[in-house]
Amino acid sequence: MQRITMSLDDRLVAELDGWMLGRGYSNRSEAMRDLIRHRVEADRLARDPDTTCVATLSYVYTHGVRDLPDRLTRAQHDRHDLVVATLHVHLSHDMCLESTILRGTATAVRSLSDRILAQPAVRHGYLHVVPVEAAVEDHAHGSQSASPHLHLRPKT
């Protein structure tokens, strides 16, 4: 790990400290690391839209709208290669919340997200994308045999 020194004007330091306090950071170093990671990841996704990622897509929808639950399910089944899991929550008699875990290229994940969020009566949608490095690893230990499997790690 390297130590760096930064000079910031008083107003920016006050903004940083207020931001940190509101989010529960205990020190400026960890806050700056998270801010830098966020910016680096966003830039990486902009430069290389086919990078591998994991993502969460969350949205609220009115389940009584004609065929909407079927259209949402069909969109997920059409891209079952991307959908890892979906959590469905009944918020009220009329409203549902779904959170879907996705894994694939950023382009494919965004395409599915756009298809779902564009449906009539889907609102409050948000896609959170995290670029990852994918590697197949074999964890055979001693006499135990384990088959190689996929490991995903955040890139930064």
Are residues 111 and 60 located together in one domain of the fold?
yes
How remote is the C-alpha of 104 from its chain's centroid? 11
In a domain, 147, yes or no: no
Please give the Cα distance from 67 to 20 (Å, whole number): 44
Are residues 83 and 124 located together in one domain of the fold?
yes
Are residues 67 and 132 located together in one domain of the fold?
yes
Are residues 67 and 113 located together in one domain of the fold?
yes
Say whether pLDDT at 143 is over 60.
no
In a domain, 27, yes or no: yes
Say whether pLDDT at 141 is over 80.
no
Say whether pLDDT at 20 is over 80.
yes
Q: What is the pTM of this model?
A: 0.75
Kindly report the number of other CB atoms within 10 A of residue 60's CB atom.
15
Domain span holding position 63: 52-136
In a domain, 24, yes or no: yes
Say whether pLDDT at 86 is over 70.
yes
Task: State the pairing for strand pair 122-137/149-154.
Answer: antiparallel
pLDDT value at residue 156: 66
